[in-house]
Amino acid sequence: MNLQTALENMDFFSYHGLYPGEKVTGGKFTVAVYIDEQCSDNKEFKGINEVINYELVYEIVKKEMGISRDLIEEVASNILRKLKMTFNTSDNITVFITKHNPAGNFNGANAKVKLSLK
């Protein structure tokens, strides 16, 4: 059986961006994380040590979102690596980061990246 643990709609005010103004004014970012793992068909879920602790997932994401970087791809990559180190039994981890109202002429569009690690 495949178990997917998801933590969605994590909103942060962070200072990521290539342009100097973005590092001063900051902006809104939304993160989603999906962690897949295979388990036996008769697995019993009786304790927090037997599942992905989404509180720990949130703390990892929060810490990485607090470190200013030029590219959201770099932020996603660092989140992905830390999650894989923490949850090394996972089969697949996917991280989405949405940057709301990025600098430039995008007519209100959001920028979004998706990184996955198997």
The residue segments making up the domain with residue 47 are 2-117
Q: What is the pTM of this model?
A: 0.91
How many structural domains is the chain composed of?
Answer: 1
Predicted confidence (pLDDT) per residue in 70-91, tens digit: 999 999 999 999 999 999 888 8
pLDDT of residue 118: 86
Query: What is the DSSP track for 59-92?
Result: HHHHHHHTS--S-HHHHHHHHHHHHHHHSTT-SE
- Asked whether the beta carbons of 5 and 52 are under 8 A apart, the reply is yes
Q: What average pLDDT does the segment 55-75 reach?
A: 97
How sure is the predictor about 30, in pLDDT bands with cuts at 50, 70 and 90?
very high
Nearest to 15 by CA among 73, 61, 63, 70: 70
Tell me the CATH number at 108. Answer: 3.30.1130.10
